[in-house]
Amino acid sequence: MTTTKQRTSHRTWTKDSYFISTDPALVPIAELNAVFASDLFYWADALPEDVMRETLNNSLCFGMYESSPANSNTLPIGLLETGTTESKLIGFARCITDSTTFLYLTDVYVDPGMQGKGLGAWLIKCVQEVIEEMPHLRRSLLFTSSWEKSVPFYEKLMGMSVLECQKPAEGEKGSGVAIMQMRGPAFPDALR
């Protein structure tokens, strides 16, 4: 029944005035769609709100929020319990998974104004914590075209390795792609 528990119970992590939650109901669709529609999120586009909500509900989402100064004395968990979130979405990661054997990490984003504070690393460490609780995981995957930053970032934080790659031509950005993989504890011995 571990799978059911993972799918129905939501996790929360706190750090200073920030919190991360796996509850997709907390994700403000309009804010997330604004991110998807921006030039910063070049790999996807905004979706109709009902489609975005369905996408989030069918995924393992990690919303990262900054509590407003007005609520600085309120713990994020208290905000979650009361349902009154005066928080701003500042980061996001989404996993497509069966919660047992496979996980695909996608849509990782941290607001550019919040970068350089270690929040992206914290977000990925929270994702990795959940991944490590999957004893039957065969593999987790991700695609990235940000060679200089993303490949070393995911190698360090998640133990990912490049499975296949098409490096961009010198001086070009965004034209290459790396498929990265982390072998889980149930990765088939025949493929090791």
Report pLDDT digits (tens) over 128-179.
999 999 999 999 999 998 777 899 999 999 999 998 777 766 766 556 788 9
- Say if pTM beats, i.e. exceeds, 0.95: no
The CATH number for 2-136, chosen from 3.40.630.30, 3.40.50.150, 1.10.150.120, 3.40.50.300, is 3.40.630.30
Matching residue, tokens 């360090």: 156
| Distant-in-sequence, close-in-space partners of 94: CB < 8 Å, separation ≥ 6 | 55, 56, 59, 60, 61, 62, 105, 106, 107, 108
